[in-house]
Amino acid sequence: MKVIQIPLLRDNYGYLIVCEKTNEAAIVDPSEAEPVLRQVEKEKVTLKAILNTHHHRDHTGGNSGLLESLPLQVYGHKNDEYRIPGLTHPLDEGDEIRIGELKGRILFIPGHTKGHIAYLFENKLFCGDTLFVAGCGRLFEGTAEQMHSSLNKLQQLPADTLVYCGHEYTEKNLQFAMTVEPNNKKITDKLQSVRSLKAKNISTVPSTMAEERETNPFLRWESKEIHENLKSRFPNLGSDPVSVFAKVRELKDQF
């Protein structure tokens, strides 16, 4: 299995997933069509499917353009049947899809939108705008409770799971992470390495689930430092994981 990252729009990533045995491919979240078609041509693969993580335009904007040039299957969550352009295969938690000989599993992870899914191929997780490197998506359509349970589902994947997210937001996310957990050395170290990658114009995505558990403030509702930090600023805040997560999300919205 080969994954080719395609930078799209300002800070989006699309991912071309290729089955190297059959040369068949799928594109995760095509924000725009042209750069995807160029990559398909360059790699000499047969594009078979679009895999949308959710309905937002910066993840589906290229669907129509691709469908004009190629007959493609279009996958997305069943809640988004009327919001994802050209959807042919409505999916739900636990469904399996195939790209050539590659098998992908669907994880239903609402919160950012009510029809958000992730695609898991081997140890590679394509999670759209739910989990970012050192961050998570805004709660546009879901509750903090839903998002917390979706992130909890993702963080239980094995430590070596590669996290391929929808945007290059890493640096800003880590700057925020430092404000809620300033003594977490893993965060300061990661910010330093992310800055040197960015200076060389290298993507900071993917990361691993192990790194996310260590540095992502939206997965660290068990962190003593975060609890103490929030309690000192918001004495009435509950200490249960959802309250902690919701407060961190609220602070990030204002950051």
Query: So which residues are the catalytic ones?
Result: 54, 56, 58-59, 112, 129, 167
- Find all residues with CB under 8 Å of 248, minimum gap 6, and list them: 180, 217, 218, 221, 226, 230
**Least distance from C-beta 129 to Fe ion, angstroms?**
4
Contact between 168 and Fe ion by CB under 5 A: the answer reads no
**Least distance from C-beta 30 to Zn ion, angstroms?**
14
**Least distance from C-beta 52 to Fe ion, angstroms?**
11
Q: Which of 24, 80, 129, 181 binds Zn ion (CB under 5 A)?
A: 129
Q: Which of 24, 80, 129, 214 binds Fe ion (CB under 5 A)?
A: 129
Number of residues this chain uses to bind Fe ion (CB under 5 A)? 3
Alpha-carbon span 107 to 162, nearest angstrom: 15
**135 vs 166 by CB, closer to Fe ion:** 166
Stretch in the footprint of Fe ion (CB under 5 A) among 159-167, 204-212, 215-223, 236-244? 159-167
Instruction: Name the strands in the sheet holding 46-51, side by side, starting at the edge strand that comes first in the sequence.
Output: 2-8, 12-19, 24-28, 46-51, 73-77, 89-91
**121 vs 132 by CB, closer to Fe ion:** 132
Contact between 29 and Fe ion by CB under 5 A: the answer reads no
- Find all residues with CB under 8 Å of 146, minimum gap 6, and list them: 110, 111
Number of residues this chain uses to bind Zn ion (CB under 5 A)? 2
Residue type present at position 83: R
Contact between 181 and Fe ion by CB under 5 A: the answer reads no
**Least distance from C-beta 55 to Zn ion, angstroms?**
8
Distance of CA 26 to the CA centre of its chain: 17
**129 vs 181 by CB, closer to Zn ion:** 129
Phi, psi values for residue 161, rounded to 5°: -65, 130
Maximum alpha-carbon separation in the chain: 59
**140 vs 234 by CB, closer to Fe ion:** 140
Contact between 58 and Fe ion by CB under 5 A: the answer reads yes
- Find all residues with CB under 8 Å of 189, minimum gap 6, and list them: none
Alpha-carbon span 121 to 180, nearest angstrom: 33
**Could you list the residues that contact Zn ion (CB under 5 A)?**
56, 129
**Could you list the residues that contact Fe ion (CB under 5 A)?**
58, 129, 166
